[in-house]
Chain A
C-alpha cells in the first residue's frame, strides 16, 4: 500500500529565509506527486504536481519541488519566504489506475515570522 510521510509537523522560519518541507512516499509502482497548500479556514489549493518528465517542478508563488525516485522523496522548496506563505502544506500521491485517489501526508505547518 502507498503511504506518505511528511517529516516535519511544524517549520518555523524567518521572513526572506529559504525553506524546505520534506516529503517521502512509499510505493512499489509509479506515482503522481502533488503539493497542496491550505490557508486558514480555506480549502486546498494546488501548488505543483509531478506527473512525468523533468524531475524539477516549478509551481505557484515561487515554490518548486524535486522528484527523487531513488530516495522516494518529493521535497518542497522556496528560496525566500514571505509572511503570506504561512499556511499548512500537504504532500500527496496518487496512482493513475486507482481512480485518482489521493493519499495525503500528515501536513506541515509553515510559520513565517517577521
Chain B
C-alpha cells in the first residue's frame, strides 16, 4: 500500500500561471481532503469530497477548484496563481466507519508551491 501520494513534490509558478496538484489514495476511502499549511496557522481546509462525485468548500476555497476524478483521485487546481497561494499543500483521505482506523485521516507527503 502506497497510502496517499501527491505530485509534484515541489513547484515554482509565476503569478497568473495555472497548475493542477494531483492526489491519489489506495486505501478505498470515500472521503478526501485538500489542506494548505502556512507558518503559525496550522492546516486549513480548502475543499473536501465526502464521496465520489461530490465536493464541498472548506475554510479557504477562494482561488481553487477541485475534481474528484474517481474514488482514488482528487485533484486541486489553481487557475491563476497568486503569491498568497505560496504554501505547502496536503492531501488526505479518511477511513470509513466500517474500517478499523475509522475517522483517522491519512496524509500525503505534501507539495511545496512557490508563486513568484
Residues of chain A having any CB pair with chain B under 8 Å? 4, 6, 9, 32, 34, 36, 42-46, 49, 51, 90, 94, 96, 99-107
Contacts and interface: CB of A to CB of B under 8 A. Distances in A.
A102 B110 contact: no
Interface of B: 4, 31, 33, 35, 40-45, 48, 50, 56, 58, 90, 92, 94, 102-110
Nearest to B97: A96
Given A44-B92, A107-B40, 4 more contacts: A36-B107, A46-B106, A101-B33, A103-B45
A44 B33 CA distance: 13
B9 to A, nearest CB: 10
Contacts of A100: 31, 33, 48, 50, 94, 103, 105
Contacts of A9: 40
Contacts of B35: 102, 104
Contacts, number: 63
